[in-house]
Amino acid sequence: MQRAVLVTGASRGLGLELIRQLGRAERPPRYLFAACRDPEGARGRDLKNFAKCFSNIKIVKMDLDDFDSIQESAEEIQKALLPALLQAAQLSDEPGFSSKKAAVINMSSIMASMELFNIQHGKTYAYRISKAALNMVTKCLANELKPHGILCASVHPGWVRTDMGGEKAPLTKEESVQGILKVLSRLSEQDNGLFLDWRGQLLPW
């Protein structure tokens, strides 16, 4: 298992489930950073209660109340994470590319795919555009970080029963995250810069 993992959006939904499954893993990360906007608020309660039982889980507050704070947080994350990723890649005994070595995994959505566009998903312009932009970030990072041995990929978690997905969604959070973690464990150099779903199937941009 990885030495250190950072999960953003960790106070609810898939982010919280990732923290739960990684925390309970047979070989959990030595450091598991759970980043969220308001760990002291109502949404952070479940995360805080879970983290109390695990000494390796560290809760990180991310201030994202306005554009300036979003930009500042992004710059701070980049300054903190890029050196850590570079060091992890350099010191790792893992050959080639893998999530056990150093990786950036972006949680995307099939709704970002232009080829698989389906009007039945609703207009949701902002959501579609933001996830399509995230996919471009993945491609850019994959190209930029490839010489350093850092893997980058976008993952669609499926239609999941969360506050956003609703009760009609066919997947539970547990099923989605189990699939995602299995996919991440198998990633290699050939997956760098790709868009995959929670079963490991390739998705078109």
Instruction: Output the pLDDT for position 11.
Output: 95
Q: Residues, the chain, total?
A: 205
Cα–Cα distance between 108 and 195 in angstroms, integer?
8
Cα–Cα distance between 121 and 29 in angstroms, integer?
36
Confidence category of residue 184, pLDDT binned at 50, 70, 90: very high
Q: Does residue 178 carry a pLDDT above 90?
A: yes
What share of the chain has pLDDT > 70, as a percent? 89
Lowest mean per-residue pLDDT among 91-105, 108-122, 126-140, 147-161: 108-122
Confidence category of residue 119, pLDDT binned at 50, 70, 90: low
For the chain, report the end-to-end CA distance as a whole number of angstroms.
30
Q: Does residue 64 carry a pLDDT above 80?
A: no
Q: Which distant-in-sequence residues (6+ apart) come within 8 Å of 172 by Cβ?
A: 160, 161
Q: What is the DSSP letter of 14?
A: H
Instruction: Output the pLDDT for position 120.
Output: 60
Higher-pLDDT residue of 37, 158 = 158
